[in-house]
A and B are shown apart, each in its own frame.
Chain A
Amino acid sequence: MKITFSVIAGLLATSAVAQDNVLTVYTYDSFVTEWGPGPVVEAAFEETCDCDLRFEGAGDGAALLSRLQLEGPRTEADIVLGLDTNLTAAARETGLFAKHGISPDLDLPVDWTDDHFLPFDWGYFAFVGNAGDPAPDSLRELADSDLSIVIQDPRSSTPGLGLLMWIKTAYGEEAGTLWQDLSDNILTVTPGWSEAYGLFLEGESDAVLSYTTSPAYHLIAEEDESKVAWAFEEGHYMQVEVAGKVAGTDVPDLADRFLAFMLAEEFQSAIPTTNWMYPAVVPEGGLPDGFETLIEPARALLLSPEEAAAKRDAALEEWRAALAQ
């Protein structure tokens, strides 16, 4: 009994005492795996900061936000890294984030004016198919074809929500019609990216909703040139992944230093071949070999966080109505 008590007391002590040189960063799972940017970033930052950088993986972007909302102001997080612009309006509304106070010099296809969140990488959503197969030139052509695609559920996955916003932005009032025409192309809808991508790799569908950068993974990591992203005339919706400083952080200076470090060379150069996205600031040496083979959309589509939040529920209802028929 005594032992149990001291163990519990020990656990309480380690969790309750916040050390002044520990920076806790909440992020999504795939960021912290050994293939993700996490290990590289941690080593590089710890070399310069004289601190202990701790990543805490919490599901995906949406799970990250709900985790923070659950914890509220008492959260141990100093930085939250991995939300996207579809989530930042809700994130800002929690009042848990502080302004970053940085005017960054970014290589984004869009202007960046958000004073709470800073982007660390970005990408274009795209359908990824097999090289040599027929590739449609637009969402419309895809909807009129008999190609099969796998998409993610916008109610449970960030890419799924991205497609919802893509079609809404490109088609406006006509979005519902496009979804109806697309419904016979949709082989199925999965809860998350992993399941959808797995189905595609198993040969279940002609294409899968992913990113224009996905073929770069196959090309660079597996020397496999068989995957291509379809370039669409309507333009491609962007995902901009951001980080923010938690207002209640007990190490505000360290958090500020991390945000500055996030846009610096060492962090940014790790992004392309670990997170398989475009870096927010292109490193001095440029992008890795292979990235030049990727398609470059003619138009970059992106709703502001406020617009995205305002349009989400109606767009979701349109999607559900079109696909439930």
Chain B
Amino acid sequence: MARRPGSIAALFVLSLIAVPIGAVIWTAGGIAGLNAADWAAFRFTVWQALVSAALSVGLAIPVARALARRRFRGRSALITLLGAPFVLPVIVAVMGLLAIFGRSGLVNTVIGVLGLPPMTIYGPQGVILAHVFFNLPLAVRMLLHGWLAIPAERFRVAAQLGQPVGRLLEKSMLRRTVPGVLAVVFLVCTTSFAVALILGGGPRATTLELAIYQAVRFDFDLGGAATLALVQLGICVLAMAALLLTDVPDALGAGLDRTVDRWDGSTVRDAAVLGLAAMFLLLPLLAILQSGLTGLERMPVSVYAAAGRSILVALASMTLCMGLAIAIVTHGRTWPRIVATLPLSLTALVLGTGLFIVVFPMLRPSSVALPVTALMNALFALPFAVRILSAARDDAEAQFGRLADGLALKGWARMRLLILPRIRRPLGFAAGLAAALSMGDLGVITLFASGGQETLPLAMFRLMAAYQTEAAAGAAVLLVALSLGVFWLFDRGGRVGAGT
């Protein structure tokens, strides 16, 4: 096994994290302690992330199962669309959620007609609702890959023996897949900031990320910011350690990649599950589209230029991300994968500030705004890509590795003939996700961009800040369309001829 590319990629990622944080600490002259408010933020952050992760994954299991065992028209489109919330910029998604669950939203309108007291989204329930909205799709997709990885031959055996599929096949698959999905969603939720604040209803819902924002922006307390960033990384390392302890080997073995025609389970119940999930995830999306269509024509030309830049950044970011991910995944050892997970817990503000400190003495920061954004977006998408590819690559090696060894299949030939064909489906998904995440990201760019380099999310945000609400809603529609577009394109590429 060629290890070197993987080691280099992992060290590169590690340096991309360590150098900026180091620069922040060096500028601050050291790190600071945590005060009482920071601890309160820590507790709230971990608590809401645990609840959000448990609910997201708990609800994702029936949805993924229904998708795995049913075949119907539009299934493929539904799978793509269900992924949308995850790649939306936060403020767009929040506006969509409010159109449905807000004070004057659809749900309360219906409730009002029925004469019931209104429900409120503001509070911990709102934070968790929004996190489930964001992460349910991700969890569904990751679990779905687990289902699709169960060899069709095993289902035949189960059918012949008259054994329940759930206990025999699905339980062990879930036992293997769920902890990883839980960990990823938990970590995504630990870096929540705007969602937690807007829907949390006030300072009760203060997360570590907000504390970092305050430290950098209002107190210019870089030491405090760096400390909080290290706490976030600590949470990530602990979560990954816990994940390693729960790791169990695959007991299902290899298959011949036949498509499964399932006979078990209630069609009605699966239809209901899919219907509810689709409503929950797609209604807010429809609300965004509906409110933004009139704004499309009010958008200034500069928004299209920003969209063009965003597409380029997304493609560059996706390419880099996939390169790193493949190198890290084929390394085979655990440590590069843990390094690749760290960006999940990184805050764009501290990382961006650190990069700014590094770049500023050499270059005008605004002259490298777009390359830096592409690099950072690749970094932030890497954990998902590595997570998605790991299982598939390991299965391929476990099942066919000895055969490949026997055939002296090494290096690029092994990659081309064994690994790539077997990870094609997750590869397409990961590439789509990386491109779409980059498209919707509004993190580092805000620190670097000046006049002529805004990306689409930044252009949208600036429209909002200039009272141009309608044009901003139009830009949101364009953003959703582009994010979904690139996601669909790559995801689709990975599924051609795969029967799913």
Among B193, B220, B300, B353, max chain A CB count under 10 A is at B220
B360 touches A74 (CB 8 A): yes
* In the complex, chain B residues 16-45 whose Cβ is within 8 Å of any chain A Cβ: 27, 37, 40
Query: Contact partner of B220 among A66, A199, A319, CB < 8 A?
Result: A66
* In the complex, chain A residues 1-21 whose Cβ is within 8 Å of any chain B Cβ: 11-12, 14-15
Q: Which single residue of chain B is at the shortest CB-CB distance from A64?
A: B217
In the complex the two chains form, what is the Cα distance from A15 to B94 in whole Å? 39
Min Cβ gap B474→A in Å is 14
The range of chain A's interface size is 35 or more
Given contacts A56-B451, A189-B197, A202-B95, contact A155 B218 (CB under 8 A): yes
In the complex the two chains form, what is the Cα distance from A195 to B218 in whole Å? 19
Given contacts A15-B364, A202-B95, A205-B103, contact A153 B197 (CB under 8 A): yes
A29 touches B122 (CB 8 A): no
A198 touches B464 (CB 8 A): yes
Given contacts A12-B362, A33-B462, A203-B104, contact A189 B468 (CB under 8 A): no
Interface: A134 (CB within 8 A): no
Given contacts A188-B198, A221-B467, contact A203 B204 (CB under 8 A): no
Min Cβ gap A223→B in Å is 14
Give me the interface of B with A, judged by CB distance under 8 Å: 27, 37, 40, 91, 94-95, 98-99, 102-104, 122, 193-194, 197-204, 210, 213-214, 216-218, 220, 300, 302, 353, 356-357, 360-364, 366-368, 446-447, 449-451, 461-469
Query: Contact partner of B98 among A70, A197, A204, CB < 8 A?
Result: A204
Given contacts A29-B465, A30-B466, A195-B198, contact A202 B99 (CB under 8 A): yes
Min Cβ gap B247→A in Å is 38
In the complex the two chains form, what is the Cα distance from A324 to B103 in whole Å? 22
B467 touches A35 (CB 8 A): yes
A323 touches B102 (CB 8 A): no
Query: Contact partner of B213 among A11, A35, A155, CB < 8 A?
Result: A155
Interface SS of B by simple majority: helix
The 29 sampled A-B contact pairs (Cβ below 8 Å) are A11-B364, A11-B367, A15-B367, A35-B467, A57-B450, A58-B447, A63-B217, A66-B220, A71-B360, A90-B220, A155-B214, A156-B218, A161-B218, A183-B202, A188-B122, A188-B200, A190-B198, A194-B91, A195-B91, A197-B467, A198-B91, A198-B95, A198-B464, A202-B104, A204-B98, A204-B103, A204-B104, A217-B467, A324-B40
Residues of B with C-beta under 8 A to A217: 467
Q: Which single residue of chain A is at the shortest CB-CB distance from B446?
A: A59
Interface: A281 (CB within 8 A): no
A30 touches B356 (CB 8 A): no
In the complex the two chains form, what is the Cα distance from A144 to B210 in whole Å? 30
Given contacts A12-B363, A198-B95, contact A156 B214 (CB under 8 A): yes
Given contacts A156-B214, A187-B103, contact A198 B451 (CB under 8 A): no
Min Cβ gap A41→B in Å is 13
In the complex the two chains form, what is the Cα distance from A32 to B451 in whole Å? 7
In the complex the two chains form, what is the Cα distance from A319 to B27 in whole Å? 31
Given contacts A11-B367, A63-B217, contact A324 B204 (CB under 8 A): yes
B464 touches A70 (CB 8 A): no
Give me the interface of A with B, judged by CB distance under 8 Å: 11-12, 14-15, 29-30, 32-36, 55-59, 62-63, 65-67, 69-71, 74, 76, 90, 148, 153, 155-156, 161, 183, 186-195, 197-199, 201-205, 217, 221, 276, 319-320, 323-324
Min Cβ gap A222→B in Å is 9
A35 touches B356 (CB 8 A): no
Q: Which single residue of chain B is at the shortest CB-CB distance from A319?
A: B203
B104 touches A34 (CB 8 A): no
In the complex the two chains form, what is the Cα distance from A58 to B458 in whole Å? 12
In the complex the two chains form, what is the Cα distance from A7 to B197 in whole Å? 43
Residues of A with C-beta under 8 A to B449: 57
Query: Contact partner of A70 among B102, B353, B362, B469, CB < 8 A?
Result: B353
Q: Which single residue of chain B is at the shortest CB-CB distance from A152?
A: B197
In the complex the two chains form, what is the Cα distance from A14 to B467 in whole Å? 35
Among A32, A57, A155, A323, max chain B CB count under 10 A is at A155
B203 touches A194 (CB 8 A): no
Query: Contact partner of A198 among B204, B214, B466, B469, CB < 8 A?
Result: B469
Given contacts A29-B462, A201-B469, contact A74 B37 (CB under 8 A): no
In the complex the two chains form, what is the Cα distance from A67 to B469 in whole Å? 27
In the complex the two chains form, what is the Cα distance from A100 to B216 in whole Å? 28
Residues of B with C-beta under 8 A to A33: 462-463, 465-466
A36 touches B357 (CB 8 A): no
